[in-house]
Amino acid sequence: MSRKSIVIIGAGIAGLAAGTYAQMNGYDSVIFEMHDKPGGLCTSWKRKGFTIDGCIHHLAGSGPNSEIHQIWRELGAADTQDFIFYDEIVQVEADGLALTVYSDIDRLEQHMKEIAPEDSETIEEYIAAARAFTSIDLLAFPLLSTWEIARKSLPVLPVMGKYGKLTLEKFAEKLRNPFLRKTFPTVQYDFSNIPMVVHLNFLAGSHNRTLGWPSGGSLAFARTIERRYLSLGGRIEYNSTVTKILVDRDKAAGVLLADRREHRADIVISAADGRSTIFDMLSGAYSDDRIEAYYKNPPDYSEMTLQVSYGVARDMGGEPHSLTYFLKNPVRLMDRQVDRLNVEIFNFDPTLAPPRKTVVKVMLGSKYSYWRELAKDRHRYEDEKARIAGTVIALLEERFPGISSQVEMTDVATSLTTERYTGNWQGLQPWMPSGVGLTAMTRGFTRTLPGLRNFHMAGHWAEALVGISTAAISGRKAVQRICKEDGKRFTAVAD
Ligand SMILES: Cc1cc2nc3c(=O)[nH]c(=O)nc-3n(C[C@H](O)[C@H](O)[C@H](O)COP(=O)(O)OP(=O)(O)OC[C@H]3O[C@@H](n4cnc5c(N)ncnc54)[C@H](O)[C@@H]3O)c2cc1C
């Protein structure tokens, strides 16, 4: 019997993973990718000898203490020699003091108590909660059976009950020490309203050394999976944009490319942007109220949508790799007041810059409408990018005197940049659908579409949850479903 064929749209992590598992399970697969490289959002780019990493801060499953590590072994990306683990998550500076969020929970407890002995009881409660999370990895839940999830969740149920609805801001209100109360809400990437449960899982993952950094960064990581896929006989066609999913009597039957080529296949997996898959490539013919309601209301403002990077002729070896500091005076950036900066200092991976030089990046949230409006006039758009780069380097000067004279490279990427290069609608990542909560982890959001057979979605839009590991697991699950439909036993082998 001839092998069934699968066409996959997108060579992001989900598409690469789906392709790799498809090859392992005896399918003939081809990936069409609109860009000229793999990775999608998991990417980096070179400028004047510096590598700007556009994605990874922390990769789940970097170390063997998480079930996710096995996925990276299967995808050929888990040589533990190649993962770097941070000793601290972030350092937050304000009012002449510094809070270092150590990855080691015991060290963190001691440090916080030294800063705020009056908060010892609250700190102990926080640390105990983090310790409870060291026995599980929430991000690995999609890999587990319902029974395993229930069993593994037992030790954290009391913590979930207590912190389930609490954000970092709310927890900080319990702290009496003014410095801790001010800085604690910023410790998770300086995002607002981060649930405590997310932070505790993150802290535990850092302590367990399951959250790490793949040496070489995001694109190098994606390339390792690309290599694995190709070595199993998979094919990738780059610079190939899919415009339509071909459908025959409610069965997906292949794809149409922008250059009018048709490619027929038995099964289609879309690992591309959710909105364009459902409403452009399939013209909205396979949707329902739930899906329409979700895509009707995208958020305008989103975190991490503006990346301002510099390559500096400065050895920043002694600095924290992630630093949030409060400014002497708040400044206006885009359409809002900013009173602190979150800076990533890529001093931990020598492959990213020439010797004694460093890439420094500041990430800010921004509104898509702000950049869309400016982009109507190319000059205004470019001027605003240049103005922001000028303001940010002046603010970095406050903390790193002399840095502005050491800048050799400046790069500003907006949500429009992300949209252009990855197809993600409005440069966004999926937001959690209302009322779904953690069930999205096990059930996903649109892994299939109503009424359409031989079609699967994979990736962060299928799950409505962000994350590189989520994308990889989603690609794996798509192939597991296909095997089940074909009455085949799913197999996965480590590299
Ligand atoms: C700034 C930033 C930081 C992040 N940090 C982390 C982190 O530290 N850790 C973590 O785990 N996750 C992180 N993420 C999230 C993570 O990057 C994503 O959730 C994940 O990479 C999504 O992968 P994906 O394969 O589902 O989708 P994508 O990466 O969006 O891939 C989709 C692919 O499909 C292609 N495509 C789209 N349309 C078409 C078409 N019509 N035809 C052909 N090809 C098409 C695109 O070019 C792209 O290659 C971060 C994301 C961002 C933006």
Q: What is the 3-state secondary structure (H, E, C) of the chain?
A: CCCCEEEEECCEHHHHHHHHHHHHCCCEEEEECCCCCCECCCCEEEECCEEEECCCCCECCCCCCCCHHHHHHHCCCCCHHHEECCCEEEEEEECCEEEEEECCHHHHHHHHHHHCHHHHHHHHHHHHHHHHHCCCCHHHHHHCCHHHHHHHHHHHHHHHHHHCCCEHHHHHCCCCCHHHHHHHHHCCCCCCCCEHHHHHHHHHHHHCCCCEEECCCHHHHHHHHHHHHHHCCCEEECCCCEEEEEEECCEEEEEEECCCCEEECCEEEECCCHHHHHHHHCCCCCCCHHHHHHHHCCCCEEEEEEEEEEEECCCCCCCCCEEEEEEEEEEEECCEEEEEEEEEECCCCHHHCCCCCEEEEEEEEEEHHHHHHHCCCHHHHHHHHHHHHHHHHHHHHHHCCCHHHHEEEEEEECHHHHHHHHCCHHHCCCCCCCCCCCHHHHHCCCCCCCCCECEEECCHHHHCCCCHHHHHHHHHHHHHHHHHHCCCCCCCCCC
Tokens 């490289």: give the residue: 37
**Lowest-pLDDT range of 8-22, 73-87, 118-132:** 73-87
Q: What is the pLDDT of residue 145?
A: 86
Which atom of ligand 1 is the closest one to the Cα of 218?
A: 17
Name the band, by pLDDT with cuts 50, 70 and 90, for residue 436: low
Name the band, by pLDDT with cuts 50, 70 and 90, for residue 165: confident
Token pair of 360, please? Answer: 């420094």
- pLDDT at residue 398 greater than cutoff 80: yes
Query: What residue segments make up the domains of the chain, in order of their start?
Result: 5-44+218-297+428-485, 101-207, 301-422
Q: What is the pLDDT of residue 430?
A: 93
Compute the distance between CA of residue 222 and CA of residue 55 in angstroms, rounded to an integer.
11
Name the band, by pLDDT with cuts 50, 70 and 90, for residue 495: confident
Percent of the chain, pLDDT > 90?
90
Please give the residue that has the higher pLDDT: either 464 or 206. 206
Q: What is the pLDDT of residue 439?
A: 67
Q: How far is the CA of 54 from the centre of ligand 1 (A)?
A: 10
Query: Residue 391 carries which side chain, given as an amino acid letter?
Result: T
Q: What is the pLDDT of residue 221?
A: 97
Q: What is the pLDDT of residue 5?
A: 98
Q: How far is the CA of 304 from the centre of ligand 1 (A)?
A: 13
- pLDDT at residue 437 greater than cutoff 70: no
Chain segment 345-386, per-residue pLDDT in tens: 999 999 999 999 999 999 999 999 999 999 999 999 999 999
- pLDDT at residue 1 greater than cutoff 80: no
Instruction: Please indicate whether residue 269, judged by its CB atom, sits closer than 6 Å to ligand 1.
Output: no
Mean per-residue pLDDT for 62-90? Answer: 92
Q: How far is the CA of 43 from the centre of ligand 1 (A)?
A: 8
Q: What is the pLDDT of residue 440?
A: 67
Instruction: Please indicate whether residue 41, judged by its CB atom, sits closer than 6 Å to ligand 1.
Output: yes
If you average pLDDT over every residue of the chain, what do you get?
Answer: 95
Q: What is the pLDDT of residue 182?
A: 98
Name the band, by pLDDT with cuts 50, 70 and 90, for residue 80: low
Cα-Cα-Cα-Cα torsion 94, 97, 103, 107, nearest 10 degrees, comes to -150
Residues 306, 414 contacting (CB under 8 angstroms) = yes
Q: How far is the CA of 299 from the centre of ligand 1 (A)?
A: 18
Token pair of 392, please? Answer: 């940010």
Q: How far is the CA of 11 from the centre of ligand 1 (A)?
A: 9
Compute the distance between CA of residue 368 and CA of residue 372 in angstroms, rounded to an integer.
6
Global pTM? Answer: 0.97
For atom 14 of ligand 1, the residue with the nearest CA is: 467
Tokens 């299939």: give the residue: 448
- pLDDT at residue 164 greater than cutoff 90: no
Percent of the chain, pLDDT > 70?
98
Instruction: Please indicate whether residue 464, judged by its CB atom, sits closer than 6 Å to ligand 1.
Output: no
Token pair of 432, please? Answer: 């959690």
Instruction: Please indicate whether residue 304, judged by its CB atom, sits closer than 6 Å to ligand 1.
Output: yes
Q: What is the pLDDT of residue 453?
A: 98
Name the band, by pLDDT with cuts 50, 70 and 90, for residue 2: confident
- pLDDT at residue 341 greater than cutoff 90: yes
121 CB burial (10 A radius; 0-12, 13-18, 19+) = exposed
> How long, in residues, is the chain?
495
Chain segment 276-335, per-residue pLDDT in tens: 999 999 999 999 999 999 999 999 999 999 999 999 999 999 999 999 999 999 999 998
Superfamily of domain 5-44+218-297+428-485: FAD/NAD(P)-binding domain (3.50.50.60)
Instruction: Please indicate whether residue 460, judged by its CB atom, sits closer than 6 Å to ligand 1.
Output: yes
Chain segment 207-266, per-residue pLDDT in tens: 999 999 999 999 999 999 999 999 999 999 999 999 999 999 999 999 999 999 999 999
Q: What is the pLDDT of residue 323?
A: 98
